[in-house]
């Protein structure tokens, strides 16, 4: 059975071989394909302000991939690609990183294990992840809320009334 995954991509550190964060994301897309994942769609790359202690802006994008692999196998593959790009999983949360690949949603609904939670627990609150995803997967639904990615984006971007 083929599964589809919505993957959020981010970078805010120059890579010695691939260059600036936007080029890192393009190289990561090629690495996904080289690893045997079919890239069905790739969003435009957007720039976003950092969360937490990092002072560097991010390049963010989203990709829809398809594969016969199960969610934890995809996680292993994504983490191997991050590692190949120089990602080290230690240090400050939300710190600078050359590459971040997160599974946001998948076609099988929700997934919960010690290593992986789908939908990504913070996806619905992260405009920098939702906006690119909405460009390529607007009709995908969060299995926990029932909202489409387009509806999630609308909630994140609508103006708040003044108090």
Q: Evaluate whether residue 119 is within a structural domain.
A: yes
User: What range defines the domain where residue 26 resides?
Assistant: 3-157
On whether residue 55 sits in a domain, the answer given is yes
Which positions ≥6 away from 105 have C-beta within 8 Å? 5, 6, 118, 119, 120, 123, 133, 137, 140, 142, 143, 149
Taking the C-alpha atoms of residue 62 and residue 46, their distance in angstroms, rounded to an integer, is 10
Tell me, yes or no, whether 64 lies in a domain.
Answer: yes
**Residue 95 within any structural domain of the chain:** yes
Active site residues: 87, 97, 100, 102
Helix, strand, or coil (residue 161): coil
- Counting the structural domains of the chain, the total is 1
The CATH number of the domain holding residue 114 is: 3.30.70.560
Assigned domain for 163 exists: no
Residue 66 lies in a domain: yes
What is the pLDDT tens value at each position of the chain, 163 positions in all? Answer: 899 999 999 999 999 999 999 999 999 999 999 999 999 999 999 998 877 666 678 999 999 999 999 999 999 999 999 999 987 765 555 556 899 999 999 999 999 999 999 999 999 999 999 999 999 999 999 999 999 999 999 999 876 666 5
Q: Is residue 162 part of a domain?
A: no
């Amino acid at each position: 059975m083929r599964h589809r995954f919505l993957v959020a991509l981010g970078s805010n550190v120059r890579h010695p071989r691939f260059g600036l964060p936007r080029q890192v994301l393009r190289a990561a897309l090629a690495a996904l394909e080289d690893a045997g994942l079919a890239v069905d769609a790739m969003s435009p790359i957007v720039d976003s302000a950092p969360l937490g202690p990092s002072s560097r802006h991010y390049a963010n994008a989203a990709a829809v991939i398809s594969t016969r692999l199960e969610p934890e196998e995809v996680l292993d593959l994504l983490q191997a690609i991050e590692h190949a790009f120089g990602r080290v999983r230690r240090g400050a949360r939300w710190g600078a990183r050359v590459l971040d690949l997160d599974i946001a949603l998948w076609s099988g609904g929700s997934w919960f294990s010690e290593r992986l939670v789908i939908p990504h627990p913070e996806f619905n609150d992260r405009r920098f992840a939702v906006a690119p995803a909405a460009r390529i997967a607007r009709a995908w639904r969060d299995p926990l809320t029932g909202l489409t990615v387009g509806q999630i984006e609308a909630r994140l971007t609508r103006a708040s009334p003044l108090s």
